[in-house]
Chains A and B, each alone.
Chain A
Amino acid sequence: MSPVERDGVAITGIAGNLGRTLAKILHGRERIVGIDRRPFRGKPKDLEMHEVDIRRNKAEGAFRKGRIKALIHMGIMHDPRMSAEDHHSFNVLGTTKVLEYCVRHGVRKVVMLSSANVYGPSPDNSNFLTEDSPLMASQRFSEVRDLIAVDMYAQSFFYRHPEIETVVLRPVHIVGPHIKNAPSNYLRLPRPWVLMGFDPMIQLIQYEDACLAMAAALRPGVRGVYNVVGPGEVPLLAALRELGRSPVPVPHVFARPLLRRLFDWHLASFPPPELDYLQWGCTVDGSRFVKDVGFEPKHTLRETIHSVAGD
């Protein structure tokens, strides 16, 4: 069989750091079809790439050329500086579009990368939130409203299209030396803020482990919503100590207004609701994914923490 005739795996957001890692893992095992509006630097020659915005009808071309058996959708963008409309349009409309293509072209499997952030940090949280916990994050955190919308859309898609195996993965904070999400950026700060008197438990997953989880979810028969956890829980301050950081304790009553000012004046890159993560827990139970898929992270807790700095 020539490579083009083999059933392919489409990956949205492939040009990002996580996407490239996933491509590396699946390359050779699967015929990969990449979709991203950004160019894929260091793309393997035999990888079919469609440099197109997923919202544009042209993106459907990726599904026409050869048969696509599965889609891994991680084309979700988080940029606190971007306008709410752009954010919403790209994330929610983009997801709707790409799932439509799947229905039209007989894709049998959809793996959606969501996040454990959808539950949101809260003082009332149980220590290990299960998949059926309510998605409360948007109450405090308008920035993740899109993420919840996308997660819920994928859940309704799961019910509307029983012919497609839909998997929604909600991994804990993904960290890595080149990963540019809020938790990784925060853990790289030499003098990060902490809230005085608070030391919540945090969960991290190394970026390669997160990609292995997505790859594992491709297995036929796997469907449903899954939390994905890394090698365990650690107090925030212990993780910062492990990284040799010098945390700056700020009383929580001042921290929010202060960060709001700094963010508005472009002196801080963290939106103020992120402080909730420094005050309360948002830790999840990943045992269902372990039981159903047999997933195990390859990196230890210590390795995972250190991976953020690349040492």
Chain B
Amino acid sequence: MSLSQKVIEAMRGWTFAMEPDAQTKLSRLAAAQNEFGVDPFGLNLDFTVAALAPMVWLYKHYFRVEAVGAEKLPEGRLLLIANHSGQLPLDGAMIGVACFLQGEPPRAIRAMVEKWVPSLPFVSTFMARAGQVVGTPENCRRLLAAGETILVFPEGVRGISKLYKNRYQLQEFGQGFMRLALETDTPIVPVAVVGAEEQAAALVNVKPLADLLGFPAFPLTPTVLPVPLPTKYHIAFGEPMRFTGRPDDDEEELERKVKAVKAELQSMINAGVQARKHVFW
């Protein structure tokens, strides 16, 4: 057994130790794996379980996530639309763990990653084996047609690199997710993440450095590197929203629908921020 296989084996053990039901939960997840242990998108279930270990630990012991509503997600294909923040995409990971641990039935979700991710060594392979897919419309359509749940952050980079002073203010939303929902007749579930927006407070965005490194943004945090602080996460899954209409409708019509989702998500976020006792506990 090679070193990397040993590491994966040990990590899998860690996941199962923290979540004894993980094995049964996994067997319920239909994954179309071939004889080389990958599905057509490159997801490897053993690898995913191993990669889950640190995420489950963060979920249970670091961010101490409290999630509500994951158990009543509707069956079938689904678009999860969430606020994005925190410099590192841990909000996406925590939403994924919530769907896996608390979903009824458990769900493996796919987050649509930025187009620059495939250009990063190691990160690209890690993401692919853990089932994360580049967020092209074509990929989304294909996954939804196969009945999968996908997570989209319509704020994109504007969200994850937002400055501390803009916390919990949704940035501009793209329209892509709404076109997809209409085209594939997929219900939208807004997901409000409270806690992540304080985990790594960005004071300024050093744009020249970002351009130099080819990063979408280069935020400076009090810790210089965006080390996430142990804020307490609250994740709320909302009621499914269904839209009808033509995906190629004029911008204004689409914008009206996008605004409805954005308004719902913003009010869920505001309620979450008000309801919590403290940023850290």
Contacts and interface: CB of A to CB of B under 8 A. Distances in A.
Given A130-B138, A199-B125, A235-B42, A301 B118 contact: no
Nearest to A201: B42
Nearest to B124: A198
Interface residues of B, number: 26
Q: Nearest 7 pairs between A and B by C-beta?
A: A197-B121, A197-B122, A123-B118, A126-B138, A126-B136, A238-B36, A123-B119
A235 B36 contact: yes
Interface of B: 34-38, 40-42, 115-125, 128, 133-134, 136, 138-139, 142
A279 B117 CA distance: 12
A124 B136 contact: yes
B128 A280 contact: no
Contact of A234 (B36, B116, B120, B123): B36
Contact of A127 (B40, B115, B122): B40
Secondary structure call for the A interface: loop
Contacts of A197: 120-125
10 contacts: A126-B134, A127-B40, A128-B139, A128-B142, A197-B121, A201-B41, A201-B128, A234-B34, A280-B118, A280-B119
A219 B173 CA distance: 49
Interface of A: 123-130, 195-199, 201, 232-235, 238-239, 242, 251-252, 279-281, 300-302
A86 to B, nearest CB: 34
Contact of A252 (B37, B121, B142): B121
Nearest to B37: A238
B121 A126 contact: no
Nearest to B143: A127
Given A125-B134, A233-B42, 16 more contacts: A123-B119, A124-B115, A126-B134, A126-B139, A126-B142, A129-B138, A195-B121, A197-B122, A201-B40, A201-B128, A234-B38, A235-B42, A238-B37, A242-B36, A280-B118, A302-B35
Nearest to A280: B118
A196 B36 CA distance: 20
A203 to B, nearest CB: 10
Contact of A198 (B40, B115, B121): B121
B130 to A, nearest CB: 13
B35 A127 contact: no
Nearest to A197: B121
Contacts of B37: 238
A135 B142 CA distance: 21
